[in-house]
Structures are given as C-alpha cells and as structure tokens.
Amino acid sequence: MEKRRHNTQTWRNAVFIVFLVNGLSFSTWLARVPAIRDGLGLSTGEVATLLFTGAIGAVSGLVFSSHIVAWIGQRNTIVVFGLLGLLGLAGIGISSEVLSSYALTAVSIVAAGAGNGIADVAMNVEGAQVERAIGRMIMPWFHALWSLGTVSGAGLAALVSFLGIGLAPHALVIAFVAGATLLTLPRFLLGDAERTASTSEKPMTLGERLGVWREPRTVAIGLIALGMAFAEGSANDWLALAIVDGRDASNAIGALWFGFFTAGMMAGRIGGVWVLDRFGRVPVLQASAGLAILGLALVIMVAQPVVSGVGALLWGIGSSLGFPVAMSAAADDVRGSAARVSAVATLAYGAFLIGPPLIGGVGEAIGLLAALWAVVLLILVAFFASPAASPTKTASP
C-alpha cells in the first residue's frame, strides 16, 4: 500500500511538471512577439496573421489528438509532441532572428501550436487518471501549474529582453532545458498501464472516436469549456486595452487590471480543489459562472477604480475552474477519455479563434467595454450546460 501511494504521488508530480513545461513552452514565444515582429519587419496585420497560424496549428492538432493517443499511447504522445512543440519554439527563434524568414517562422509556429495542442489533450487525460487514482478532483492544480509555467515564461522573456538577449538564444536554451526535463519523465507517467488495468474492454475504434461528437453530454461539456475559455481568452486579449480606452486610463493601469484578473485565475485554481471536494462539480461551475458574470458587470459598468479592480479579480476567479473541470468531466469514462477530452478541448480552443475578432469587431462599433457583454452571453451558456459535468458512474472522484 505504501509503495502504491508513493508511486501515485510520483506520478502526480510528474504530471505537474508536464503541465509546467507545456505552459512555459507556450508563453516563451508569445511573450516575445515584439522581437518576432522586429526580426521579420512585420506590420501589425502581418503579426495578427502569424498568430492566427499558431491557433490554426493548435486546433488542427486537437482534432487528430485522440487518434494519436490511441495509436501511440498517452505517455508517448505527451513526450513526442511536447518535444515537437519545443522544436517549434526553437525554430521560431532561429527563423525570425537568424534567418529572417516569414515562411519558416510560420511553419515553426504551426509546429509549436500543434505539438502543444496534441500534448495538451494527452496530459489532461493523464491528469484525470491521477484524479481517479487518488480520489480527489485536483485537475485545477494541474492547470495552476500550467499558469505558473506561462507566468514564468513571460517573466523570463521580460528579463532576457531587458538584458538585450535575442530570441534565438533564449528560445534554444528554453527548448533544450524543457526538452531534457520531458525526457526524464516517461517512466513516471503511468496512465497507459492504469488504463489497461482498469478496463478490459477493447479500445475505441476510429468510428467510435468520431462518434463522441454526437454524444449530448460531451457536447454540453464542450459548451462549458467554450464559454469559460471565452471568458478567459477575452480578458487575455482585451481587458487591458478596454480599461485604457474605455476608462481613459494609462497603459500601466490597464496592465494592473490584467494583473488582477490573472491573480484571480491563479487563486481560483489553487483554492478550487478544496471547493470541489466540498461542493462538487455542478454547484462550483454554476457559482464560478455567477462570479465571472458579476466581475464582468462591475468592470463594464462601474468606473470607480476599486470596484472595477475587484471586478477584474472576480472575473479571474470565476473563469479559473471551467476549463479544468470540463477536462475532468470529459475523461470520466476511461474508455474513450482521450476522444472526449479532444472533442471538448477543440470546442474550447475555438473560443480563442473566434474571441479576438468577435470582441474586436463589435468593439470597433460600440466600444470594447460594451463589447464584453458578448462574453456574458457565453458564460450563461456554460452556466446552463453545467449539469452535464455531474460525475458518471465510472468516475471515482
């Protein structure tokens, strides 16, 4: 019993590191978009097109991820495609700064997006299996580690930029260190063996994996993830600018309000495990949606700085649990968990594709603050879809 507990704790810690590395890889190049722009001499529109290719790469990878997991297993998917994402990161640095090639940079960004996206599905399935093994809903902690990775990546990017270090050496060092870390983890990732031991059923066929898109519960969970990812993504893209333009505030104030939001996200994911233990998925999801709506309303309607700042914090707390809880719910049934997580993640990442142009287009006409009411509508969809996340009979947490 003691040995099994030790193995489970080691497995959990290995998955923590996987999420951390994925977040670090993702944020390293995004935080240095200005360096990419300068290296390639791009206009703002060309930068937007380049970023869109990364989103296309991620979503395309997600579409195929469940099939890849079925063919090569979770552990191999995490490692191989995590390394592909890091190879893409290195390629971005070399292509933009050393070679000054727009085409090669675009290819590298697609590789980074696809690699991280495919690994993302496998690591969420792995995380859900850890939850079943320990009997607690700790998926928010895994996503908190991902957030820590993104914050660390952004902080390191700011530091090396301040020191005048170019993107190429920066990206190469991060890719090498993160890649070496990933290569130490395979023997600690036990998801494939646990899945084999926990089910005697045959793996899903290709037709069955595609069929999950017709399952009402899976689609409803996808709507939860879509609505809450939209809430998160809209803040990432537009909160700072909405405060600056809508409240005639300084750039520093806009950045501070975004900091309130990210602090709320991190706090919500760290504290969310205890809340889920006590109240369960559905009440927590509905309360989270309510907090996010309240926070958005305060940001949109109230100019008073303290109240508006509290609104940004509540927006972050309310947005923090939707995506990780949806991942857990999608993976309730061990058989087909990768297919369902893939479907839900694809719907969620769709929010990052449609969000920026939707808010930007509406904001052009009525102002960014008013345009954020569209986010409230998507959160309401997540609220009403929340009962779908109720654990199934095969779910143990």
Whole domain around residue 298: which residue ranges? 208-389
pLDDT tens column, 350-388: 776 677 667 877 887 888 899 999 999 999 999 999 999
**Is this model's pTM higher than 0.75 or not?**
yes
Paired tokens of 304:
């008073």
3-state SS class at 234: helix
Residue 199 lies in a domain: no
If asked whether residues 74 and 124 sit together in one domain, one would say yes
> How far from each other are the two terminal CA atoms of the chain, in whole angstroms?
19
Residue 200 lies in a domain: no
- CA 243 distance to own-chain centroid: 24
pLDDT above 70 for 172? yes
Q: What are the backbone dihedrals phi and psi of residue 73, each rounded to the nearest 5 degrees, phi first?
A: 90, 160
If asked whether residues 136 and 226 sit together in one domain, one would say no
Is the distance from CB of 331 to CB of 337 less than 8 angstroms? yes
pLDDT above 50 for 397? no
The alpha carbon dihedral of 84, 60, 131, 205 has a sign of: negative
Helix or strand run (H / E) with residue 355: helix 337-366
Q: State the average pLDDT over residues 32-43.
A: 85
Q: State the average pLDDT over residues 120-129.
A: 89
Burial of 369 (0-12, 13-18, 19+ CB in 10 A): buried
Look up the CATH number of the domain holding residue 52: 1.20.1250.20
Query: Position of tokens 């109230």?
Result: 302
Give the span between the Cα atoms of 132 and 396, in whole angstroms.
6
If asked whether residues 174 and 239 sit together in one domain, one would say no
pLDDT tens column, 317-327: 999 999 999 99
If asked whether residues 173 and 265 sit together in one domain, one would say no
Is the distance from CB of 330 to CB of 344 less than 8 angstroms? yes
Residue 369 lies in a domain: yes
Residue 290 lies in a domain: yes
Give the span between the Cα atoms of 287 and 157, in whole angstroms.
35
If asked whether residues 306 and 273 sit together in one domain, one would say yes
Domain C-terminal end among 159, 189, 219: 189
Domain C-terminal end among 189, 220, 241: 189
Determine the pLDDT at residue 107. Answer: 94
If asked whether residues 37 and 136 sit together in one domain, one would say yes
Determine the pLDDT at residue 200. Answer: 52
If asked whether residues 246 and 327 sit together in one domain, one would say yes
Tell me the residue type at 89: L
For the chain, the domain total comes to 2
CA distances from 376 to 74, 231, 246, 257, 297 (A): 35, 8, 18, 18, 8
Residue 286 lies in a domain: yes
If asked whether residues 262 and 368 sit together in one domain, one would say yes
User: Which of these, 334, 388, 7, lies nearest to 225 by C-alpha position?
Assistant: 388
Determine the pLDDT at residue 181. Answer: 96
If asked whether residues 86 and 166 sit together in one domain, one would say yes
If asked whether residues 103 and 213 sit together in one domain, one would say no
If asked whether residues 175 and 215 sit together in one domain, one would say no
Residue 71 lies in a domain: yes
Determine the pLDDT at residue 396. Answer: 45
Cα angle 321, 282, 391 (rounded to 5 degrees) comes to: 100
Residue 105 lies in a domain: yes
Residue 397 lies in a domain: no
Q: State the average pLDDT over residues 2-18.
A: 82
If asked whether residues 248 and 130 sit together in one domain, one would say no
